[in-house]
Structure 1
Amino acid sequence: MAYAGLTTERLTLAGAELADEVGFDQVTVSELARRFDVKVASLYSHLKNSQDLKTRIALLALEELADRGAAALAGRAAKDALTAFANVYRDYAREHPGRYAAAQLRLDPQTAAAGAGRRHSQMTRAILRGYDLAEPDQTHAVRLLGSVFHGYASLEAQGGFSHSAPDSEVSWSRILDALDALLRNWPDPEPGA
């Protein structure tokens, strides 16, 4: 019998909050049961196991990021869109470190297709329309942007820039300027490549 007041959605949100507090790797059904002061078995009518919980947290995080990204992109193009979208990722990683880590969880293709992962790719491609990139360069640029956004957010979260000059805000701004310049002047492929 399901414990009164517990739903899959409520448990997923609580798991996401737990991830932000203790780290995504530390999230388990057992830890969640302790939070609700119930027996672990009470949660299995809502969740299959800890991996199911983590997958649900990842999907929630991807959806939250996609919603923020869509709102940030509205009415923007080219560099303004690039900057707004990049800031969404960086801000989300700062505000929700556990959820951000969850968003990096490798999902099986069927689960990923049903979630917000595709929206992220579509939004990134929408930004790139302002730079007039054709395939396969558009795919290369999507991978570049994802790598830079995730790499910077991850290094910053680990304190990688806290003890060096210049300030990380200055670096972030310069990196976005450099990405804009690169996208405006995307190199032609090598002949025969």
Structure 2
Amino acid sequence: MGRAGLTSDRVVEACLELADDSGFENLTISLAARHFGVRPASLYSHVKDLRDLKTRMALRALEELSARAAGELAGRSGADALAALGEVYRGYAHEHPGRFAAARFPLDTDTARASAGGYQSRLIASLLRAYDLPESEHVHAVRLLGSTFLGYVTLEQSGGFSHSEPGSDLSWRRVIDALDVTLRNWPPSPPTP
């Protein structure tokens, strides 16, 4: 039996906070145990192992990100919705870098399908309806948006844009504008062989 008051949810929440402070990649069972003032073995009654802990953290981070996106996208469409979605990802990454990293932890196929990540994809697909893209192109557009947001935020967090002018905020707005233009002028699907 674990320490009184220690639950799986408390362990996950505390580890998300630790990840924000120390980095998701630096999280270990030992670090979590030290945080609670228990031996590592005490945590194993709440999580199976480090992979289980990180999977639970990923699922929680995906839920948080999806809830933010849903709230910000409500009532918006087109360029306004695109900018709001981009700000959700960028804001979450800046406020919670460890949680943002957790949201990218690789999940097995069944867990990924049951996660809030699928809800995020559906939110983005609904945003794409304003751009009149054929449904067969949605997966490509979702991947474009996801990779652009992730790439920009990752480079920004690592200091990749801090050595030149203009500042990254202006470039971010230009990236969102360019994505809007791209979505409005999506190339036709190539013929299938």
Q: Tell me the TM-score range normalised by the shorter chain.
A: over 0.9
Structure-1 separation of matches of 2:124 and 2:180: 13
Give, in angstroms, the shift of residue 135 of structure 1.
3.0
Q: Secondary structure at the match of 1:160?
A: coil
Could you say which residue in structure 2 is the equivalent of 1:155? 155
CA contact (8 A) 1:77 1:127 kept: yes
Could you say which residue in structure 1 is the equivalent of 2:125? 125
Give, in angstroms, the shift of residue 188 of structure 1.
1.6
Q: Which amino acid aligns with 1:122?
A: R
Give, in angstroms, the shift of residue 136 of structure 1.
2.3
Closer, same or farther: CA 80–34 of 1 in aligned 2, 3 Å: same
Structure-2 separation of matches of 1:143 and 1:175: 15
- Is residue 74 of structure 2 the alignment partner of residue 82 of structure 1? no
CA contact (8 A) 1:61 1:100 kept: yes
Gaps of 5+ in 2: none
Q: Which amino acid aligns with 1:14?
A: A
Greater Cα offset, 133-142 or 12-21 = 133-142
Structure-1 separation of matches of 2:97 and 2:163: 20
Query: 1:98-157, CA deviations, whole angstroms, 9 ceiling, x for partnerless residues?
Result: 111111111001111221110110011011011011132211111100010100011101
Gaps of 5+ in 1: none
Give, in angstroms, the shift of residue 2 of structure 1.
1.8
Q: Give the 5 Å matches for 1:141-180.
A: 141-180=141-180
- Is residue 100 of structure 2 the alignment partner of residue 111 of structure 1? no
Q: Give the 5 Å matches for 1:40-119.
A: 40-119=40-119
Q: Which amino acid aligns with 1:116?
A: A
Q: Percent identity?
A: 56
Structure-2 separation of matches of 1:27 and 1:192: 46
Q: Give the 5 Å matches for 1:175-186.
A: 175-186=175-186
Structure-1 separation of matches of 2:65 and 2:142: 16
Structure-2 separation of matches of 1:59 and 1:38: 25
Give, in angstroms, the shift of residue 190 of structure 1.
4.0
Q: How many residues align?
A: 193
- Give the superposed CA RMSD: 1.1
Closer, same or farther: CA 9–192 of 1 in aligned 2, 3 Å: closer
Structure-1 separation of matches of 2:114 and 2:154: 26
CA contact (8 A) 1:28 1:53 kept: no
CA contact (8 A) 1:69 1:88 kept: yes
Could you say which residue in structure 1 is the equivalent of 2:136? 136
Q: Which amino acid aligns with 2:133?
A: L
Give, in angstroms, the shift of residue 192 of structure 1.
5.4
Q: Which amino acid aligns with 2:189?
A: P
CA contact (8 A) 1:81 1:127 kept: yes
Structure-2 separation of matches of 1:45 and 1:58: 20
